[in-house]
Amino acid sequence: MNSTDATLRLSAASTAALLIASAQAPLGSTLIAVALPSIGLGIGADIVLITGLLVTGYLVVNVVCQGPAGKISDLVGHSRVLWTGIGLYVIGAVCGLLAQDVSLLFVSRCAMAAAGALVVPATLALLRLHVPQEGRGRIFGLYGATMGIAAAGGPALGGEIVSLFGWRAVFLANLPFLALSSCLLYLFPLPASRIPAQRSIRGLIKTLDFAGMGLLALSLAFLILASKLNGGALAVVLLASAIAGVSFVVWESKVTAPVFDPRLFSLPAFTAGTMMIALQNFAMYGLLFQLPQYFSVFRGTEPREIGYMLFVMMVGMVVAAPVGGQLTDRIGARRTAFLGSLLLLSGVVQLWHLASFDIPTDAVVALLMFGLGIGLCNAPAQAASMGAVEPRQAGMAAGVSSTMRYLGGILSILALGMVLGSDDAVSVARHVVMIKLFTSAIVLSALMSRRLPGAGIAGASSH
């Protein structure tokens, strides 16, 4: 099949602008963490309430909006959606700056979450459409590295901003980056798309699948809620999430203009790449939450030491992501992803001996290998999954990919709660069980990598 707008290539400046804009989503999710105590004191609100509304609320809105945002991007144009997302960031920043109570802060965070959900799928779609197949590995490697740097650097940047300017400045932190991105896009405009917008805004409102969006939102919201429950309430909410999820799939298979087209998963490269992303995020986010609990509860380790330990994994991801992109273009997605999967396995298997780890540095080598593996796998999985779809569905595919990435993390947190249990029931043995569960996810991911295209083989719609 013929591709695409790949011949209308992005300039280096416009590519940088897209990467900077999309990086605001992970930056915004981690930036606020260190500011929460100061926000609570500043507006006189309970820290638990603040965390629930500003952190969990952000996650819910961001996850729920990813899929519909991708579909909307296909219908009205990726550039328009990108600029709308940038505008929403500004609205969110103003709300945060002016907020006198928790309600307007919540509105601010929801606006920023929706902005990120618009910008990320639009960026992925634009990279898919305007980067030729032979260069996508490198670009998606840079994309992975940029997102990793933003996520890892958020807490440090947030701490500096709060110390120097106070907590309100945290809500303005994205604006300088967005200003730079906007200036670059103004000076170096995005290429005109060969795929015209299929709907006007008015036509979009009339034809958008609101029922499907509602079922998806309900299923994901129930799943996120379940991660905070236990016992009978957990079972009931999980059942509700499953019912809503099954209903969503059945509905989407019948409507003429679905939010998520189930037929995407009939494409082997798309399915393999997307599932790899979900499975690897299941393991990665699980370790990010599990290891601090283990070293804190059983080894009495200081938070700073735990932070340095986890930072090693992030360094591995950031270093390996561009390398994974280069290898994808040279030796193919399949070999690169399989090599990354082997590194992931070598890292997670070392963690089977977690019970013998007395200090965080005992886990550093394992986490470095794990981070390098994640970094190597990201570019081939993303490039293969996006390259497999028709150009007219690039936004939808990006939305599905982003949703699956978050879904892996949510399921990981849910599994941690179910396996580790409450503080008085948790044991080292249960931690080891979780490590072996993560190992199973990485093994499945390695098997999925064998279904990615090899060197010189494009996806279904790459040419």
List, run by run, the mean pLDDT of 10-residue segments along the chain (463 residues). 54 94 89 84 83 81 87 88 96 93 93 95 92 88 87 81 90 95 94 63 71 89 83 91 94 88 92 95 87 87 82 89 93 95 96 94 96 94 93 90 87 85 72 95 96 69 45
Give yes or no on whether 1-189+202-208 and 264-454 have one common fold.
yes
Residues 461 and 4 sit within 8 Å (Cβ to Cβ): yes
Task: Report yes or no: 310 and 367 within 8 Å, Cβ to Cβ.
Answer: yes
Say if residue 198 is exposed, middle or buried (CB neighbours under 10 Å; 0-12, 13-18, 19+).
middle
pTM equals: 0.85
Q: What angle do CA 55, 126, 139 make, to 5 degrees?
A: 85
The pLDDT of residue 74: 87
Q: Are 125 and 402 in contact (CB under 8 A)?
A: no
Q: Is 458 helix (H, G, I), strand (E, B) or coil?
A: coil
- The domain locations on the chain are 1-189+202-208, 209-256, 264-454
* Helices 136-165/364-387 angle, 10° precision: 120
Residue 163: the pLDDT is: 87
In this prediction, residue 201 carries a pLDDT of 61
Looking at residue 48, its pLDDT comes to: 73
Q: Say if residues 234 and 226 touch (Cβ distance below 8 Å).
A: yes
CA distances to 127, 210, 262, 385, 454 from 399, rounded to whole Å, are: 14, 16, 13, 12, 25
For the structural domain made of 1-189+202-208, what CATH number should be given? 1.20.1250.20
Among candidate residues 452, 441, 380, the one with its CA nearest the CA of residue 415: 441
- At residue 323, the pLDDT reads 95
The continuous run of DSSP H or E covering 102 comes out as helix 102-130
Sequence-distant (≥ 6) Cβ neighbours of residue 384 within 8 angstroms: 269, 270, 272, 273, 333, 337, 452, 453, 459
Residue with tokens 């550039």: 79
For position 203, what pLDDT does the model report? 65
Is 36 in contact with 54 (CB distance < 8 Å)?
yes
pLDDT score for 3: 44
The highest-level CATH class for domain 264-454 is mainly alpha
In order, the DSSP letters of 184-230 are HHHHSPPPPPSS--S--HHHHHHHS-HHHHHHHHHHHHHHHHHTT--
Give the per-residue pLDDT at 4. 43
